[in-house]
Structures are given as structure tokens and as C-alpha cells.
Structure 1
């Protein structure tokens, strides 16, 4: 079954070019041209991935991304930001808000398609073969994108969930920041390891009393405790 991509882009020429290349790779593509319609389409279509421009009429791209990541029913949908705004601050803000990748215009459409495929592969790799883990008070189901802390469901962004899953898969082992960046953001991520620290901080806040299970190993990285 073809993966469904939702493209939220207000430039008709760029949108047409992106859709042409995605459809040539057998993706099922829907397109809307403003932020409000884009958010409504995410809720209606539940796509496998969202391609999101930042500079949009109505709601801007950062607002759309934030609302996707704050909605428990949508937060697991990967988001790739596509924009002419290439400054480092814009890139960091987008990624730290839960976006899965960031592509700066002008770009070659084949590069964008490769990024889309990479994000989808990373998401699939995190759901198989082990898609359920339970350690101490924390349980996660990757296939359902569900996290339970002391039996209580907690809404995590896609990156928070992927980070927790990566750490729990290696429970008892220390994972340095570079290893976590590679596992969760991919080897072509251009940001800094500060992104890992920001996401760990947000994850701990949501974990509440279960946060001590996620340990900091000074000057190295992080470790999820083993039981016992």
C-alpha cells in the first residue's frame, strides 16, 4: 500500500514539482496551500508523513507543527520542514519542536524524496521487530505509538517517543549523544547534540515520577535503567 504524504506548500510551482517527484516514487500525495487547511487535512487524512513549509498564509508552519505535536492523536506523524528560511535558529526551533527533518530551498527534488524515504525508514525501523517494551514503570508500544508511565498514557512527540524507544531498546547501556542523534535524527542531521539534551529534558518532564529511570551519565550521554 502506498504511503500517504501531505504537502502543505503555498507556492504552486514548487508544490507541483514536489508532487511530480513523489508520485514518480509511488507515493500517494495530497496538497493544500495554507496552514489552516493543512492542519485540517492532517486531522482528516492522518498521513504517513507531512511536508510542511514554514512561510504559509494563515497559520504559519511552526504553529502547524506545534499543534500536530501537541495533539496525542497526531503527534506520531513525522514532519519534514521545507522552507527558504535556512538560518540555524529556524532549523533548531523546528527540529526541537519535534520536526523530523529540515530541507532548505532551493533543493533538488531527488534530495527531498531521499529525505522523505529516510524518515519513513527510520520510523519503520523503530517499530520492528521489537515493537513493545516494558521496563519498570514505563511501557511503550511502537506500533500504536503509545507510551504509558505507571499505567497512565502520555502524549509524546514523534522525536520524544523515538528517543525513549531507542534508550529502552538499549536498557542498561550508556548511549552517547552522537549515537542518539544517529538513531533518532539520522546520520545526515546537521544540528548539534544540544537537541538531544532538550528532548531528554522535555521527556523527563512528561515522565514525572518515572523520570529517575532515565539517567544522565556525565560527559557521555544517557542510559535507561534496567530492572532489578
Structure 2
């Protein structure tokens, strides 16, 4: 687990005042920070900088944040990178679009530095908790390897984005136990991270598309379970 001083954060926003605010607060906290003013520059900078966290605006010129996130998630080296969207658009459809693109979190403007720093610390705690779990789960024909964030189904290797993988691993660690959406949000995203309950549905659907429909069962009116029946 990296310490704050070794964490690399890429700030992506076309508003120089926001970039300056975030750069000041993050470097003061001990983070190593780079910046970009649009999605295209963000991708180029990410390849060279290799950030642990990307804080990215949604509405930007040249290439918006949603499109940039999709492109980053297609690159193996950024499938586990935390991507947090920054936006003034608080409508639910914007948040769903962000998670569809592969975002981990969603923060509305105006940004409160203390709240943002708390959010980043929450990710660090979640990462630390993951270290104490079994490295490999073998169940129902799947092999879930926490060290490589890979899922093996027979001879097929399936790479999932970070939150999709953590959601699958959490459910598989307690097969046939039903979890509500709120329980999944608290255990996978953490209590310090605000996301809507529909986020779980989006991630479950994307996991099913990649590993098969049969592994995660919907319990109507309750939630989800990893199915071994």
C-alpha cells in the first residue's frame, strides 16, 4: 500500500482556478501532482506520469471526460487506476454515464478540498483492507485472483476494471449470501464515498456481460448474491 507521499494524482480540468486549487491542496498534503486541460492531454500525460488517481472534469474541450475515461479503461495499465469525475452537472444521468464509462467516484462542484482529501483517504483505507483478504478465490468454475485483478473462466482470462472486480470478489467470498445495494455500496465503495444505489446495478450488469449471467443472481426487492445453486 502506497503512502500519501508516493501517491500520484493527475488533475484534469479546463478551469485554471480549479486546477490551481486542487494542485495547492494536494501537494500540501504530500501527493505528487500533474495536470492537463482536456481529455486528450490527460491521456498523454497519464501514459507518461502513471497516476494512481485521476481527478477529471466531465465537460472539457477537445475530448470530454467521459470519452477520455473510456479510452483510459481500454488500456491495461489504467484498468485499476482510480478515476474520480469532477463536474458541476449533478443530474443523475451524468453520474450514471460516468460509471458506465468506468469511473470509480463522482464529485460535484464547487469542490470542497477537505471533503476531497477525505475521499482520497477513504480509497487508501479500502486498498489497505483488500490486502488482508485471500489472494485467490476459486468457486463455480471461476478463479478470482486479487493480486492481478484478473478472473479466469476455464482457459479464458478476463480483466475487469477495479470496482467491477472488487464487487465480484466481495460477492464470491460469501457465496449465496444476499446483499442489499446499500450493503454492497458500503463494503465495496466505502461509507466515505457517495454514489447512488443505481451504481451497483450498472456494475453488476457490466460484470455479467463479461463473465456470464449465471454467476450473480438478482433477488427481487432485496439485492444480489453470488449463485452456486
The separation in 1 between residues aligned to 2:101 and 2:183, in whole angstroms, is 20
Partner of residue 182, structure 1: 186
Given the two structures, how large is their TM-score scaled by the length of structure 2? Answer: 0.88
Q: 1:221 aligns with which of 212, 215, 223?
A: 223
1:119 aligns with 2:123: yes
* Shift of residue 79, structure 1, vs aligned partner: 0.6
Partner of residue 162, structure 2: 158
SS at match of 1:107: coil
1:207 aligns with 2:211: yes
For residues 17-96 of structure 1, what are the structure 2 equivalents within 5 Å?
17-96=21-100
Q: Residue 192 and residue 16 in structure 1: after superposition, are their counterparts in 2 closer, same or farther (change >3 A)?
A: closer
Given the two structures, how large is their TM-score scaled by the length of structure 1? Answer: 0.89
Q: Is the 8 A contact 2:83 2:104 kept in 1?
A: yes
* Shift of residue 190, structure 1, vs aligned partner: 4.5
State the Cα deviation string for residues 4-50 of structure 1 (Å, max 9, x = none).
Answer: 11111222221111111111211111112221110122233321111
Gaps of 5+ in 2: none
Q: 1:106 aligns with which of 104, 107, 110?
A: 110
Runs of 4 or more above 6 Å deviation: none
The separation in 2 between residues aligned to 1:147 and 1:5, in whole angstroms, is 27
Aligned residues: 225
Gaps of 5+ in 1: none
Q: Is the 8 A contact 1:137 1:151 kept in 2?
A: no
The separation in 2 between residues aligned to 1:76 and 1:164, in whole angstroms, is 14
Deviates more, 1:16-25 or 1:36-45: 36-45
1:130 aligns with 2:152: no
The separation in 1 between residues aligned to 2:174 and 2:28, in whole angstroms, is 38
Q: Residue 143 and residue 29 in structure 1: after superposition, are their counterparts in 2 closer, same or farther (change >3 A)?
A: farther
